[in-house]
Amino acid sequence: MSHLLRLGLVVLFLLLPPGAFLLGGWSGNIATRFDISDPPDTLANAIDERLDPYILRVIQPDKYLMRHLTGAEGSNSSVFVSFYSGYGTTGAHDPAVCYPSQGWELSQVGFREVPLPNDESLTASFFRATNGRDESLVLYWFQPAGRWSQGHPEEMFFRVFDAVSGRKRYAFVRLSTPLAMLAGSGSESAQELLLELAGDLAPWVRRVVDGELTGSPSDPRPGRSLTFRRF
């Protein structure tokens, strides 16, 4: 990243708080309601889990959903989605920072394009986490209101624009799956599983975040559920 681009980013983020206050208005004082009562069929048979009270106090979501999915052949994955109004909350923590702080080593760090209905797509962050004999693949993204998440560095500029225009509500989505000590196809199958799961969840997450702001993105795959494969 060039020196000029870094300087521009610093200036933008210094201007973000006053800009958000002036352009975002007083709407942030109104409690945001996220309706998560009707999750997609993909999560219908998943096990509902709850956050540790301490973690809940730290990340302070307005609403969250945490599920564990187990496939018929033993494949499994973890789904965590937290929703934020963007006003007066701590916010979600970036896994690329949290995982290393808990002793995990990251590799294969990068971005993955998640195919969506209507020839759309979103850009998600991806990495492989290793802690001793434990290995997992992690796919995550921050879902803003009114649009799909883009790649960096352009996503950083879009977030500034979202904030100063008053569209501060967003969701954080993290999908992970343990990776058995398999070479080649094992990692590829696990990655495909996460991308497929992300594609199924993303339209629902977007609808919840958008609320009445932009209407509901269409999802031509109602009732579709994943068939989990062995890694």
Predicted TM-score (pTM) of this structure: 0.75
Q: What is the phi/psi pair of residue 208, to 5°?
A: -65, -45
What is the full per-residue pLDDT of the chain (231 aa) written as tens digits? 555 555 454 444 444 444 443 444 434 434 458 999 899 988 888 999 999 999 999 889 999 999 999 865 556 899 999 999 876 555 678 899 999 999 999 999 999 999 998 899 999 999 999 999 999 999 999 999 999 998 777 787 787 788 777 778 899 999 999 986 444 456 788 899 899 999 999 999 999 999 855 444 444 333 333 433 332
Distances (CA, A) of 139 to 3, 106, 124, 209: 30, 12, 6, 19
CA distance 230 to 47: 19
In the numeric block, which tokens belong to residue 49? Answer: 């889990």
CA distance 218 to 43: 19
